[in-house]
Amino acid sequence: MNTLQYTQTEFTQLLNSIIAELLQKIKSELVNTKEEPALGQVIQSQCQAEDLAHLVKDLTLVCSYSIEVTYYVTWQITINYKQIPSIHLTVHPITENSYYSTPLSMTLNHYLTKHLLNTGVIPNPWTIS
């Protein structure tokens, strides 16, 4: 397992940037639709809006934690012969006095993994030979 460490401020900024990226994606897809959107586009927009709601809920939860929280993000890549690689990522917010169980959403887990892959913090398992 590999571990990344974030302060409360750094993790909040990370969540804000993930939310901003998703908002920009939703906005650009809506603006680029000159005709009436197809059903598939409407469903995709609905799913993205639901993802956005989960991320905002997670951000609200994170902001309710103490400023002394340190977030440990552990990740592990598993590559099995002739199988799709898998990435397991877990977030553990910890203070000196307590350990929070993390009720952060699977949506956050997905977008955080995607963000860390896109920024090169986690190596892309599909390019590892």
pLDDT at 28: 81
- Average pLDDT for consecutive 10-residue bins of the chain (129 residues)? 93 95 84 69 85 93 88 89 85 79 83 93 82
pLDDT at 67: 87
pLDDT at 33: 61
d(Cα 57, Cα 97) in Å, to the nearest integer?
Answer: 25
Q: Tell me, what amino acid is at 103? A: P
pLDDT at 39: 73
How far lies 113's CA from each of 20, 29, 56, 97, 117, in Å? 16, 22, 17, 28, 6
Residue 56 neighbours by CB distance under 10 Å: 12
Q: What is the pTM assigned to this prediction?
A: 0.83
d(Cα 100, Cα 24) in Å, to the nearest integer?
Answer: 31
